[in-house]
Amino acid sequence: MNTQSEILIDCNAPVFIPDGCLQVLPDSEQLPNRVRGQVKWDTTKFSLYLVDDQKNGKLIGGNKLRKGLGAMPVLTAHVLDFLIKPENQYLIPEEWKRKLVFFWGTIYRRSDRGLCVRYLCWGGGKWYWGCGWLDDDWGGSRPAVCSQV
């Protein structure tokens, strides 16, 4: 078993495209500060982030939230795909079990032309991933995972 300090995730490799999604948006349409390159997995270097309009019971539309996250160093779905592997799930912070943790560094276009972002979630005694549609409202249980570096 690796220690967290030894784990690197390649965020420049081709990313998984789920069924129902046509493509990953081109770089020019992704959030500008998304974390790229080799990411060293260290839970002390990442945090869950909410914009003000997600706090205190408020809701924000996904497209407005996307704009609000523009300056944040959000993690890509490469990290989600690494963490969801059964042999790596021990690396997922316990606090994430009560939330849908979104990886805003990779935005997908669905077959109906809508946009979505993948999330990691705990339910039924196991980790799984899903997609959040930007047409939906986003509240306090839907944070973005960001780098603190």
d(CA 18, CA 149): 29
Averaged over 116-125, what is the pLDDT? 96
Q: What is the pLDDT of residues 53-103, one digit of tens each?
A: 999 999 999 999 999 998 999 999 999 999 999 999 999 999 999 999 999
> What pLDDT sits at residue 6?
81
Per-residue pLDDT band for 133 (boundaries 50, 70, 90) equals: very high
> What pLDDT sits at residue 1?
47
Listed by start position, the domains of the chain span: 4-10+21-147
> What pLDDT sits at residue 130?
95
Q: What is the pLDDT of residues 23-33, one digit of tens each?
A: 999 999 999 99
> What pLDDT sits at residue 64?
96
Angle among Cα 74, 8, 36 to the nearest 5 degrees reads: 35
Per-residue pLDDT band for 21 (boundaries 50, 70, 90) equals: confident
pTM over 0.75: yes
- pLDDT of 149 over the 70 cut: no
Q: What is the pLDDT of residues 71-83, one digit of tens each?
A: 999 999 999 999 9
